[in-house]
Structure formats: C-alpha cells, structure tokens
Amino acid sequence: MFPLTHIYAIDRLVPVVGPLHLLGALFPDAVLTSGLPWERTHRSGAALYAFLSERYPAGLSFAIGVISHGSAPPGLDYYGDERYGPFEHGYAFEEARPYAVRAAEICGLPEEMGWWKAHNFVEMALEWLLACQEPDLGSRVRQTLEHPAGLEELVPHLETFFGRGRIGLGESLPAMLPFLALEPIAPETLAERYQRQVRLKHGVEAIHTEQAAALIEEIAASIQPRCWDFLEDVLGRIGEMLRLEGWTAL
C-alpha cells in the first residue's frame, strides 16, 4: 500500500488522467481493506478490461489503472516484486537484499519474513523520494480517495466481476486512508503508517518506528540513481504494452 508510486506511474502512462485512472491505479492494494484475494486484484486487469468493454465502457479508465499497477499483465508490481532483468525477483526485492535481517527485527517478525518486509522498506523509500520530487502527490491521493468521482456507478460492475469482499468495494478504497502516509510524507510518517499495516496483517502490536524511519532514509540514499532508471525503463515497457494491446479508454 504505497500509492504515490502508482499515481506517479499512471500520470506518466496516460495522456489525460481522469479520476477513474487514479482509482484503478490504487484499487489493487485495497485488498487490505476489502479482503479480496491479492491474486484476484493484481492478476485480472486484462479480464476486467474485457468485461467492462462489454458491460460498462465508461469504466475502462479504471481497468487501465488496474493494469498499470498489477502483476499480470505485467504492470509496476510485476517489475517491482516478481521479476526484473536478471534478478531472482523484482527490483524492490533486489534492492532489499542487504536489509532483510534488519527489517525482520524492526517489525518483530521471524527472520524468514525479512526479505519480504525489506522490499516494503524499499517501496517506502521510493514513496518519500517521489514526494520530495512531486509534493502534490499525497494530496492527490487523498482527494481521489475522499471524493472518488465515478466510483458509485462503477461499483456494481466491479462487484459482479470481483465479488464482494469484507466490505463493499466502494467503501474499501476510502478505507485505505488510515494506512497511508500522505501529508506530510516523511520517513517518520511512513514508518508510523507501516506499523498499522504490520499490526493488521501480522498481529504485531508495535514495530520499532524510529529504526524503521532511519532505515527508510538510509535506503532512499542508497537506491539513487538506480530507482529513477528503473522507473524510466518499466514505464516505457508498460506504456508500450498498453499501446500494443489497444488498452485505451473510449
């Protein structure tokens, strides 16, 4: 649930970004609040596009946002988490290798979970770097989730496609807000919001937030300029995929 990177990405991928593009780019990570399976929201973008093409073409912008975020077809999470270049997994996991043990200790989790948690710290470091570069990203995410234009009409179609989770899909997006560091965005606020995610997912009452903030800051210094090269490369790949597949809003 690190939304700024996905908003940054859809801004770069779509010539004219509308509210449903933004909501779709955020939607896959609403699994934390909706209770839908991760695989369903991250691997169904192409099927959702085909479904909405027939049932509700006005919602195609949402499907494009979902595709840009997801893992299959390959969106940002594919390259960040699953596979990038010669690496064993995605870019964020590769950058996270040196920090796995520390991340597990900070989160109070078993060492075997450290690499997974450390890749979240890489993602948080990138969120902070993007916020420093484009300070309005956080307010745009908040505005999008607090006033989800076009979502009410789209929700019945989404619930037909995905099914209904713990809460209605229209409610699941605004319900993300307490877990997101948006305004201000700093290592300290990212660490505090991450603590809420770890508490919900793993039942850990408190992580070491000061150490978490320090690690985010350390990683942010370490991953430059590689992180910018990564974003340029994968956004080019995703944009070309969207073009070749004809995935555009009508």
User: Domain count of the chain?
Assistant: 1
177-193: pLDDT as tens digits: 999 999 889 999 999 99
Contact 79, 91 (CB under 8 A): yes
Q: Is 157 contained in some domain? A: yes
Q: Is 141 contained in some domain? A: yes
Q: pTM for this structure?
A: 0.95
- Residue range 230-248: mean pLDDT, rounded: 97
131-180: pLDDT as tens digits: 999 999 999 999 999 999 999 999 999 999 999 888 888 899 999 999 99
Q: Is 224 contained in some domain? A: yes
The encoded tokens of residue 128 equal: 């902070």
Task: Map tokens 């896959």 to a residue.
Answer: 28
Q: Is 250 contained in some domain? A: no
Q: Is 22 contained in some domain? A: yes
Q: Is 120 contained in some domain? A: yes
What pLDDT score was predicted for residue 1? 64
Q: Is 39 contained in some domain? A: yes
Q: Is 101 contained in some domain? A: yes
Contact 99, 219 (CB under 8 A): yes
Q: Taking every pair of C-alpha atoms in the chain, what is the biggest distance, in angstroms?
A: 50
Domain that holds residue 171: 3-245
Q: Give the distance from CA 39 to its chain's centroid.
A: 14
